[in-house]
Structure 1
Amino acid sequence: MALLKFLMCSVFVLTFTARAAHMSPSPPVKAAYWPSWFSESFPPSAINTALFTHIYYAFLMPSNRSFTFDLPETTKAELSQFTSSLRRKNPPVKTLFSIGGGGSDSDLFARIASNAKSRQIFIDSSINTARKFGFDGLDIDWEFPKDTTEMEYFADLITQWRKTIDREAKLTSRQPLLLSAAVYYASEFRTYGEPRSFPAAAISKSLDWINVMCFDYHGSWDTTATGAHAALFDPHTNLSSHYGLRSWISAGVPRSKMVMGIPLYGKSWTLKDPYVHGVGAPAVGVGPGDQGILTYVQVKEFNEKTKATIVYDIRTVSAYSYINTSWVGYDDVKSTTTKVEFAQANDLRGYFFWALSYDSGDWEISTHASKAWVDDQY
């Protein structure tokens, strides 16, 4: 096992002596997104802030007419409760609100980002909203700029955003707001439209960090075979976190501005043959859960209720369980802590989870992840 960890942590070809380069290391990011639609069943007051440094409110969207955040009173009250609750916690955590999210209107972001005037209206409103409700920063989850032109718009947006944040901080003598972005697992797209790459130079200069979505490599769109949907390694394809993170580094984004995403949910399939059950085994459809998706809580319940066989897959650094023709792939304590150790060994800024409330009631995954990141190693 020690040899395995050494080999895993040595996969990236380092271009410098990492420890010597960290004279003034950036504080680590141990983050998670809080889905606001679970506010009644999982209020922010229920968050164990000892396990995190940053919590994202997910999600807000600007008006498709004014490009400003014209929020209903109920949302305003929820935002105030979110930040005030987390400030009162011991320890307190930094708060950001995330704009967009999966399934949001990508065309709206393109319209906003396409010219300086609309960008400024959106940016000013985002900063005013953050200040009004006591947030420490902003996060954009634009999924995804669909071509090279929209990637240029994205670069223009974050560049103008950073300048405005810095100007506002100077004028008000306040700490500059944080600015981050949730991004595709790799720096370049080879699917979902024309080939294109994220603007690495603008990202490196304008963002505090990027949240690299190292998950959803497999799912209900392909029911022919099971898959490790957040594989750290894949011996057969580029659908892996190792490939994606390496592509961001090769593009020129500093490791200190990369935060690795880890899912608190699994994906399921129905096996074609119950006796053939490895990662990549033939399948005929989705399995248990909502369209083949189970939260970590639900995975544990499924395993306990069905007495499913649990397997750790060393090749992909993932876990799966199976019973009869039901198959579920997910991250357990072992795979999560290995990923966290991998991220730290390769000098990334930290990690984040999607999403809070998906963990077990005793914060099993989050606790082990927090312990795996050695804060005083420098």
Structure 2
Amino acid sequence: MDFANFEVGIISNKLFILTTLLKFVSHSKLQLCDLEDRDKPYSPAKVNFTFTIAYTMLKPPESTSPSPSTPPRGIKGGYWPSWRAEKFPPSAISTSYFTHLFYAFVVPDANSYQLLITQTEDKLMKSFTATLHAKTPRAKAFVSIGGGTASPHTLSNMASNPDSRAAFINSSVSVARRYGFDGLDLDWEFPHTPQDMSNLSLLFKEWREAIENESSISGKPQLFLSAAVYFASNFFLSNIPRAYPVEAISKYVDFVSPMCYDYHGSWDTSVTGEHALLYDKASNISTGYGISSWIKAGIPPKKLVMGLPLYGRTWQLKSPSENGIGAPAVGTGPGNNGVMKYIDIVDFNETKAEGVVFDEQTVSMYSYAGTDWIGYDGPASIEKKVEFAKAQGLGGYFFWAVGYDKDFTLSKTASDAWDEEI
């Protein structure tokens, strides 16, 4: 049935009847409530009869067909390592599983604090945004500034002075507009002192003001502003206690992305460890603790986008017979310095693994063969983690890094889990 035409028909065919009834109500001294006074506590006895008549005459018939379920809205993010463009170009990204994609990375000049854009990056960024915006569904494109190999001293120096902050901010907004990005992302690993955190607060404030000002002048939608951050709201493991400026983040940043991985790795080869476990009864080094610390600090859950790894960390077991989490180890295992992409973990599991285990207590997976041991996230743990993120009311999740997956297996698992109604 054409619902719109049906409603018009009711109005045209029964308008006279409705008008007559309303006149009858008026003459009977039944009172209609003043629509301008809709907040007043009117007695239902005064208004029920009149509005029942009006609603009955005008309302369309109730549909007998089930309404389609609408997937929960949120961020399904992924960082794209630009240095792997030849092996995994932007055209290879499936936006069916991602809503937000981050170009990783560009860095500021150590003296001018303006973003350095090489000829190669110029071509890649143009391709990145154009490709993502042309895909169906269309994905939002962010340019991420910094990264794990960027100099934290350069970012610290930049944030310490109003003039250098302005140079950095103006350059970032200009670059974002020039290449058609939808947003800006800061990946500062990591602010090292309480003063850095104080300066970060100023940076976020001035960045937001610049974004709003540029939008009012250009007439374009405001750029989004996000930041990749430590897994917890404060550096409780550090010798220099410091915490993120949660008030400034809540006020000026659209969302922050706690990097919930790398809890264990090549810096500690004495025992095996799950580097992205959701729970750890023995310590606070876990995703569950990290996310709860952000919420307790005052960040609205919807502004938190939880990090998930598309890689594992490996160890060399001391003895093949002791192969669980926390087993004695003597060094890093297979992969690049103890790091193995998920696509390679799948190959390991199919060709070598003697055991593939999902650990329910930590919500993590590990595989082993001989003395080789790998801790990682697989389909079972990814699904549980995304369910955790939804239960906490988070704004979404992100992966490091797009291109490390095996045929988008984990990307699809996460996307499906996010879309499934609770």
Q: What TM-score do you get using the length of structure 1 for normalisation? A: 0.91
Partner of 1:226: 272
Deviation for aligned residue 1:251: 0.5
Q: Distance in 1 between matches of 2:132 and 2:421?
A: 24
Question: Which residue type is aligned with residue 367 of structure 1?
Answer: K
**Correspondences of 1:67-86 after superposition (within 5 Å):** 67-86=113-132
Cα distance, 1:74 vs structure 2: 2.1
**In structure 1, what is the Cα distance between the partners aligned to 2:229 and 2:262?**
13
Q: Does the 8 Å CA contact 2:106/2:116 hold for their aligned counterparts?
A: no
Separation in structure 2 between the aligned mates of residue 73 and residue 330 of structure 1, nearest angstrom: 36
- Aligned pair 1:370/2:403, yes or no? no
Paired-residue identity, %: 48
Checking the alignment, whether the CA contact within 8 Å between 2:353 and 2:367 is kept in structure 1 is no
* Higher Cα radius of gyration: 2
Cα distance in 1 for residues equivalent to 2:121 and 2:353: 42
Shift of 1:171: 1.7
Judge conservation of contact 1:31–1:352 (CA < 8 Å) in 2. yes
* CA apart distance, 1:241: 0.4
Cα distance in 1 for residues equivalent to 2:125 and 2:368:
41
Match runs of 1:197-208 below 5 Å? 197-208=243-254
CA distance in 2, matches of 1:295, 1:40: 17
User: Over the residues paired in the alignment, what is the CA RMSD in angstroms?
Assistant: 1.4
1:357 corresponds to which of 395, 400, 403:
403
Tell me the SS of whatever aligns to 2:419.
coil
Q: How does 1:127-166 map to 2 (within 5 A)?
A: 127-166=173-212
Q: What is the identity, as a one-letter code, of the residue corresponding to 1:283?
A: A
Match of 1:31 in 2: 77
Q: Is the 8 A contact 1:146 1:193 kept in 2?
A: no
Assess, with a 3 A threshold, how the Cα gap between structure 1 residues 136 and 121 changes in structure 2: closer, same or farther: same
- Residue 32 of structure 2 aligns with which residue? none
Quick check: 1:269–1:284 contact (8 Å CA) kept in 2?
Answer: yes
Q: For residue 356 of structure 1, what is the amino acid of its counterpart?
A: V
* Residue 346 (str. 1) matches residue 392 (str. 2): yes
Q: Is the 8 A contact 2:317 2:328 kept in 1?
A: yes
Of 211, 217, 229, the residue aligned with 2:263 is: 217
Q: Which of 343, 354, 367 pairs up with 1:308?
A: 354
Q: Distance in 2 between matches of 1:35 and 1:117?
A: 30
Aligned counterpart, 1:14: none
Which of 314, 326, 340 is the aligned partner of 2:372? 326
* 1:280 to 1:307, Cα distance in 2 relative to 1, 3 A: closer
Amino acid at match of 2:351: K
Deviations 1:109-138 (A, max 9, x none): 011111111111110110000000000000
1:110 aligns with 2:156: yes
Aligned positions of 1:245-260 closer than 5 A: 245-260=291-306
- Unaligned stretches of 5+ residues in structure 2: 1-70
Candidates 90, 98, 101, aligned match of 2:144:
98
Match of 2:281 in 1: 235
Distance 1:26 1:180 in 2: 21
2 CA distance for matches of 1:280 and 1:70? 43
Displacement, 1:65? 1.5
Question: What's the counterpart of residue 215 of structure 2?
Answer: 169
Q: CA deviation at 1:375?
A: 6.7
Whole-Å Cα distance in 1 between the matches of residues 335 and 265 of structure 2?
Answer: 12
- What is the CA–CA distance in structure 2 between the aligned matches of 1:170 and 1:150, rounded to whole Å? 30
Report the Cα offset of residue 281 of structure 1.
1.1
Quote the Cα distance in structure 2 between the aligned partners of 1:297 and 1:344.
26
Is contact 2:363–2:381 with CA below 8 Å preserved after alignment?
Answer: yes
Shift of the 86–266 alpha-carbon distance from structure 1 to 2, 3 Å rule, reads same
Alpha-carbon contact 1:28-1:375 (below 8 Å) kept: no
The 1:313/1:356 distance shift into structure 2, 3 A limit, reads: same
Match of 2:66 in 1: none
Please report how far the alpha carbon of residue 284 of structure 1 lies from its aligned counterpart in structure 2 after TM superposition: 1.1
1:49 to 95, 104, 107: 95
Determine which of 324, 328, 339 is the counterpart of 1:278: 324
- Establish whether residue 183 from structure 1 lines up as the match of residue 229 from structure 2: yes
- Runs of 4+ deviating beyond 2 Å: 190-193, 374-377
Query: After superposition, what is the alpha-carbon deviation per residue over 1:153-183, rounded to whole angstroms, capped at 9, x for unaligned?
Result: 1111111101111111112221110000000
Q: Secondary structure at the match of 1:196?
A: coil
Find out whether 1:261 has 2:344 as its counterpart: no
CA distance in 1, matches of 2:177, 2:419: 32
